[in-house]
Amino acid sequence: MKRFKILLVSVYSDKMILSYDDIGLASIAAYLRKFGYEVHLIVHFFNKMDYKRIVDLEPDFVGISVYRDSKDEVIQFCEYIKTLLPEVKTCLGGAFATYYHKELLNESMAIDYIIRGEGELALRNLLSTLEAGGDLPGIKGLTYRSDGRIHENEKESLIADMNELPFPSRDMLLDHQMNVAIISSTRGCFGKCTFCESPDYWSEHGDQRWRGRSVEGLVDEIEEIAQRYGVRRFNIVNNSFEDPGSDAKSVKKFAEEILKRNLTISYSINLRTIFQRKCTPELVRLLKKSGLCSVFLGVEAANAFDLQFYGKYGTTEDNMKCVELFREQGIRVIIGFINFNPYSTLKGLRSNLAFLQKYEYTGFLSFLHRLRIEKGTKLFHKLNEDKLWKDEKKIYLDGLNYKHTDERIDSLVAFLHNRFVEDRETEAINYRILYFERFFYTYLAYNKHLFEAEQDETGLSYVLECEKRLDESFSQFSCICSEWFSGLLDLAESGWDDREAELWSELKLNKQCMEKYDTQFGLERSKLYKKLMRLGNKYEEYVI
C-alpha cells in the first residue's frame, strides 16, 4: 500500500501579520511523522508562495489551515493547486473551517475535505482510509462531498494526554531563519468568554476540556529549541498561562525550572487580569528574572456592562491593577481590547476611552477594535435571538455584519469603517501600528532582557534609547487620538453628522498626521537596526 506524501500549508493574506509559524500545523506534522509519513511544511503569503517547489514535491495530499482573514486566499490556493496537480487531495482545518465547513465546501469544488476540531487523530484516520481505499463515513471529525451532497460525520474524540504528543516540528524556524519560536503546551481554556470559540471548540460531550503538558515538558521543549536551533525568544501562546484555574503555583514552578536549568531566554505569555489577585510583586520579579518580558492581558473592556456581556471573570479594578502590577516591575503589557459590540453604549465607550487614555493605549488605535462574532460562540446565538444580523446570508463572509442597538453607534462605526478600513492607505497604517504594539515592542523587550543577561551595556543602551523614543512618540500620538475620539463621542451624543465628523477628523487626526507618526515609528526601528548591525555579525540575532 502506497503511503501518501503530505504537504501542510499555511497561506497568509495581506491582512495578516506574518509570523512564519503555525503551531497547529507544526503539531500535526510531528504527529504524522511519528507514524512514518513524509511531511513537508510551507508557510507564506499567497502571492509569494513557491509553487515550483510544491510541484517538485509532488504531494498526494495537501492540508491547509484557514482563518477568516485568509479564507479567500486559501480558496484561490486550492483552485490553483488543482490546476498544477489535478490528482492532489486538499483538506482544510482550523476553527474557521470547523464552524463554516459546509459553506467552504459549497464555495469551492477545489476543497475535497474538511477536518473539524482537533486535527491529529482525524487527519491520520483520513489518510490511512484513503490509502487503503476505505469508506469515508467512518472517519470521525470529517466533512466531505459525495453523491452531490455534503456529509458531516460525528465529532472525533480529543487526545487525552498531551504529554504523549511529540513536540511540534520546527521546519519553519529553519526555512525562515526565525529567531522567535511559538510554543503552545495547552489546549482549551478555563475561561467562559462569550465571544470566543474555545469553550465549544475544545469541548467533548458538552463538557469543557482543558489539557496541558507538564511544566517540565514545556521547559523540555524550550530547552530543545534553544539548543538545537539557537532560538532564545519564545512566544508562549497558551490561552491563559496560569490555567488550570488561576494557579500561581504552576507559574512559579515554571520560572523556577527555567532558572534551575540556567536557560538564558526571553519569553512572553498570556494572562487573565484576575491573576493579579493571586500574584505578588515578588512572583513578577521571579518571572522577570527567568526571562518574562511581555504579557498579553485579556482586558477587553473598561466598563462593567461590557465585561459582564463578554463573560469576563475580571472587573475594571482587576484590569487596572494587573496592568499596573506588571508595568511597575518593568514588564511590557499588551492588551486585548474590544471597544465596540452590538450592545455598546456611549457611556461604556467613554469609560473605555478613559482607560485607554490613562494607560496610553489610544496611540495603538485600540478604540477602533470591534467585536467580530463567529459561529461556535455564545454571542453568535444571542445575535440570532435578538435578530441583530444585517443579513444572515453574509455571516460567513463577515463576522461584523451586525447592527447596534443604539443607532448613534451605528453611525459612528460606519464612519470609522469608511475612514480606517475602506481607505486602503489608512488601513495599511493601522496594520503597521498594530505591528509595533503586538510585535516590535515585545521584540525590544526580548532583546532588553538578553542584553541584560549578557551584560552587554552597548546593545542594552541602544534598545533602551529606541524604546524611550518610541514611548515618547506613541504618548504624543495617544493624546491626539484621545482628543479626536472624544470629539466623535460628543458628536454621536449630540446628534451625528458625517460632515461635522469629517471636519473634526481633518482637524485632529487626518491622514497626514497618521503618516507623520507612522514614519517616526519606522525611523526609530531603522536607527536601532543600523546601530546593532554596526556592532558585528553576531547582532543579526537581535534584528527581526
Sketch out the chain's domains with CATH numbers: 5-152 (3.40.50.280), 179-337 (3.20.20.70), 371-544 (no CATH)
pLDDT at 322 over 90: yes
Q: What pLDDT shows up at residue 391?
A: 83
Q: What pLDDT shows up at residue 209?
A: 77
Q: Mean pLDDT, to the nearest integer, of 254-260?
A: 97
pLDDT at 320 over 90: yes
Q: Mean pLDDT, to the nearest integer, of 142-167?
A: 93
Q: Mean pLDDT, to the nearest integer, of 351-378?
A: 95
pLDDT at 19 over 80: no
pLDDT at 419 over 80: yes
- Quickly state the pLDDT bin for 169 (edges 50, 70, 90): very high
- Quickly state the pLDDT bin for 199 (edges 50, 70, 90): confident
**For residues 460 and 34, what is the distance between their CA atoms, to the nearest angstrom?**
42
> Which has more pLDDT, 197 or 17?
197
State the cell numbers at 195: 465571544
| Cα 99 → chain centroid | 18
Question: Which residue is it, cell 489577585?
Answer: 277
HSE (CB half, 13 Å, CA atoms) of 124? 16
**For residues 389 and 401, what is the distance between their CA atoms, to the nearest angstrom?**
6
**For residues 233 and 181, what is the distance between their CA atoms, to the nearest angstrom?**
6
**For residues 200 and 265, what is the distance between their CA atoms, to the nearest angstrom?**
34
pLDDT at 317 over 70: yes
H or E segment and range at residue 528: helix 511-534
Average pLDDT, the chain: 93
pLDDT in tens, 480-535: 999 999 999 999 999 999 999 999 999 999 999 999 999 999 999 999 999 999 99
- Strand 5-12 relative to strand 38-45, pairing: parallel
- Is the bond preceding residue 59 a cis peptide, omega within 30 degrees? no
Gap between the terminal Cα atoms of the chain: 45
Question: Which residue is it, cell 453611525?
Answer: 411
**For residues 40 and 18, what is the distance between their CA atoms, to the nearest angstrom?**
19
Q: Which residues pair with 446 in a beta bridge?
A: none
pLDDT at 14 over 90: no
* Total Cβ atoms within 10 A of residue 143: 23
What own/partner pairs with CB < 8 Å and gap ≥ 24 does 225-232 have?
A: 225/170, 225/173, 225/181, 226/263, 226/265, 228/170, 229/170, 229/173, 229/174, 229/181, 230/541, 231/173, 231/178, 231/179, 231/180, 231/181, 232/179, 232/264, 232/265, 232/266, 232/450, 232/541
| Cα 456 → chain centroid | 32
DSSP alpha helix (H) spans, 183-238: 198-201, 215-229
